[in-house]
């Protein structure tokens, strides 16, 4: 099969890496890709939002299957464009990707279909939102309605922070049009767990659990980021939690989307909070998480091509997912200064140390080649240093061991990814 992957991050790298292991894969293209992806796929200089160009490329190269990794093209309707041209594509249509594209939509869906989530109010008028946060229970969570690269959620521990947050989102337009509407949500306490799933419109298959570290600094301090590291499985995601979520959250969400005339095909990412009152949905995403994919896909035994095709063909009920017993940990190497200002174009060294080491992986997120063929930094999150181990502690030790193999001047990372393992 000739496969096109759309995107340029660590998520797309691990997708290409996993696809390359399939005997069904003849050739992989990735648009636009990055320096690391070029080792397993041919990178194509077409932007992820250039739908017509991507579709024309797929037609020209006789692509058998396109997998869309990124949220923006899915929310923008790339799947609809490809399907209109008769091209096989994996991902939700625009009217289903709204489950991530609008937090207000997803909250209303959960309310209507009795899917456990936090209490909330939605506002389009900044003045009304400001009046509400001046009297509501504190702490409170503010969510820009639209996509904001994983940074549109503000946890406000004081009333002053809540007022400032509304002004940032709705008045100062920190997240642009994504802040036209804001969801003000009750603050939930508990462990946060990520669960990815494959969906074919009616059947859902749950992947292994994972746990993210969103804050930029050790001890969950600093600004929210797209994710500074991850591990799988989460020791807090017990059989009891799984049974509850399967009954009250997972299938109910798939059925709700179908009932709304928005059947979902692709990957639904369930962001869960394990509260004292039971598991509740924090958010939905309409694609693989990043870096969740980097710890879940290396543990998946199934051929990714088989699973994706089953989703596209509506035959997911014929697939059972299997995962390795080993645990997996990913530590993100970022550019110092992320998620604010940071330098690009910094030379990087040490990639050869990963050669021939099966349990160690280096997934590229923000990298590119300079004019001389040297790999340089090209983003805030640069690499996902990933390792498999017999248990979480061993995987964590190996991942941090491998972070020393890579050197670049602006290298920054958290040192406590998976520390919660010791507390389980």
Please give the pLDDT value at position 374.
97
Summarised one tens digit per residue, pLDDT across range 72-93 is 999 999 999 999 999 999 999 9
Please give the pLDDT value at position 150.
66
Closest CA to 196 of 41, 300, 274: 300
Please give the pLDDT value at position 53.
98
Could you tell me whether strands 360-364 and 381-389 are parallel, antiparallel, or unpaired per DSSP bridges? Answer: antiparallel
Summarised one tens digit per residue, pLDDT across range 229-247 is 999 999 999 999 999 999 9
Please give the pLDDT value at position 1.
97
What CA–CA distance (Å, rounded) separates 206 from 71? Answer: 20
CA 149 vs CA 10, 99, 100, 152: distances in Å: 14, 15, 11, 7
CA angle 227/230/235 to nearest 5° reads 135
DSSP codes of every residue in 78-122: HHHHHHHTT--EES--HHHHHHHH-HHHHHHHHHHTT--B--EEE
Please give the pLDDT value at position 420.
67
- Is 247 exposed, middle or buried, given 0-12, 13-18 or 19+ CB atoms closer than 10 A? exposed
Taken in order of first residue, the domains within the chain and their CATH numbers are: 2-91 (3.40.50.20), 124-180 (3.30.1490.20), 191-318 (3.30.470.20), 327-423 (3.90.600.10)
Please give the pLDDT value at position 147.
81
CB 364 within 8 A of CB 378: no
Please give the pLDDT value at position 422.
55
pLDDT (tens, 9 = 90+) of the chain, 424 residues, equals 999 999 999 999 999 999 999 999 999 999 999 999 999 999 999 999 999 999 999 999 999 999 999 999 999 999 999 999 999 999 999 999 999 999 999 999 999 999 999 999 999 999 999 999 998 989 999 999 988 766 788 889 999 999 999 999 999 999 999 889 999 999 999 999 999 999 999 999 999 999 999 999 999 999 888 899 999 999 999 999 999 999 999 999 999 999 999 999 999 999 999 999 999 999 999 999 999 999 999 999 999 999 999 999 999 999 999 999 999 999 999 999 999 999 999 999 999 999 999 999 999 999 999 989 999 999 999 999 999 999 999 999 999 999 999 999 999 999 999 986 755 4
CA 370 vs CA 12, 58, 205, 413: distances in Å: 21, 27, 41, 24
């Amino acid at each position: 099969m000739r496969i096109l992957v759309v995107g340029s991050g660590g998520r797309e790298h691990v997708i290409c890496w996993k696809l390359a292991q399939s005997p069904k894969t003849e050739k992989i293209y990735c648009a636009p890709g990055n320096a690391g992806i070029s080792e397993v796929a041919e990178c194509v200089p077409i932007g992820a939002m250039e739908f017509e160009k991507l579709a024309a490329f797929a037609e020209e190269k006789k692509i058998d299957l396109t997998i869309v990794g990124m949220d923006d093209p899915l929310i923008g309707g790339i799947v609809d464009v490809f399907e209109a041209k008769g091209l096989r594509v994996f991902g939700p249509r625009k009217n289903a990707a709204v489950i991530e594209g609008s937090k207000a939509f997803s909250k209303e869906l959960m309310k209507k279909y009795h899917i456990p989530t936090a209490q909330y109010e939605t506002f389009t008028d900044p003045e009304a939102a400001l009046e509400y946060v001046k009297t509501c229970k504190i702490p409170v969570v503010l969510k820009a309605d639209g996509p904001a690269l994983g940074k549109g959620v503000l946890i406000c521990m004081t009333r002053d922070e809540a007022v400032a947050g509304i002004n940032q989102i709705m008045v100062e337009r920190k997240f642009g049009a994504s802040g036209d509407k804001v969801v003000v949500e009750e603050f939930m306490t508990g462990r946060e767990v990520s669960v990815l799933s494959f969906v074919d419109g009616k059947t859902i298959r749950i992947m292994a659990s994972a746990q993210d570290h969103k804050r930029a600094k050790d001890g969950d301090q600093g600004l929210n980021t797209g994710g500074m590291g991850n591990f799988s499985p989460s020791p807090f995601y017990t059989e009891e939690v799984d049974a509850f979520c399967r009954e009250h959250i997972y299938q109910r969400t798939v059925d709700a989307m179908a009932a709304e005339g928005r059947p979902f095909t692709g990957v639904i990412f369930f962001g869960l909070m394990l509260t004292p009152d039971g598991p509740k949905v924090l958010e939905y995403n309409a694609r693989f998480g990043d870096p969740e994919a980097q710890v879940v896909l290396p543990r998946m035994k199934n051929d990714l091509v088989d699973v994706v095709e089953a989703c596209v063909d509506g035959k997911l009920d014929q697939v059972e997912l299997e995962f390795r017993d080993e645990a997996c940990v990913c530590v993100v190497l970022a550019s110092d200064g992320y998620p604010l200002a940071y330098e690009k174009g910094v030379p990087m060294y040490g990639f050869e140390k990963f050669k021939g080491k099966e349990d160690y992986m280096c997934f590229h997120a923000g990298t590119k080649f300079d004019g001389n063929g040297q790999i340089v930094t090209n983003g805030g999150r640069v690499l996902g240093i990933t390792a498999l181990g017999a248990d979480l502690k061993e995987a964590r030790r190996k991942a941090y061991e491998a972070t020393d193999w890579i050197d670049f001047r602006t290298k920054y990372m958290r040192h406590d990814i998976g520390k919660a393992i010791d507390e389980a």
